[in-house]
Amino acid sequence: MLAYVFWHWRSPEIDSETYNNHLVAFHRVLSECKPAGFRSSVVFFSGRVPWLPTAPEAYEDWYVVESSAALDPLNEAAVSGVRREPHDEVARGAAGGVGGLYRCRTGELSLVDAQYALWFSKPAGTAYDAFYASTRPWTSQVGVGLWGRQMALGPTPEFCLLTSTPVKLPDRFEGFGRAIERLWPGH
């Protein structure tokens, strides 16, 4: 299971309520008219994130797809047919964006239930097997998923631990944690 994660921020010329409404409208029509290989999407308002220092606040769209082969159909579908106008409304209000491709490495796929996100990097000099073993105290819990970057398309961290309850990682993991607010699907 892969997720294309897209961080974007609104232009100061558009108010947050209008931007949020446009964003939800796009994701609603995308869920109703799914392209091949597309499973679902989740949108979080994540506030300020350190890898986007010029963005006053960020939105985080997670597009879950079956495989990387689904990315081309998703990209084409997002800007065509009944999805085109809702997509264009959001795009006109955006000031910028960056993305990355992530794979669910361990734990559950629980994006809709996620309330906290911890973004971090693997400690330098740690082998991946040892790293994954060190995350088992968290990823073995219900409602926790560890996502690892497959492809860097921007300055984003290598890993994301999504949880439904707050988690504190050991100090050897350098990163950034915060509560996230789900905008889509609705509460």
CATH number of domain containing 113: 3.30.70.100
> Rounded to whole angstroms, how far apart are CA atoms 72 and 161?
27
- H or E stretch covering 164: none
pLDDT in tens, 92-136: 999 999 999 999 999 876 799 999 999 999 999 999 999 999 999
Question: What tokens were used for 50?
Answer: 């350190």
Q: What is the DSSP string of 19-43?
A: HHHHHHHHHHHHHHSPPTTEEEEEE
The phi, psi pair for 140, rounded to 5°, reads -85, -5
Q: Give the global pTM.
A: 0.95
Would you state the pLDDT for residue 126? 94
Buried b (16+ CB within 10 A) or exposed e, 111-126: bebbebbbbbebeeee
> Is the CB of residue 77 less than 8 Å from the CB of residue 65?
no
Residue ranges of the chain with per-residue pLDDT less than 70:
109, 187
Range of the domain at 61: 2-184
Domain count, the chain: 1
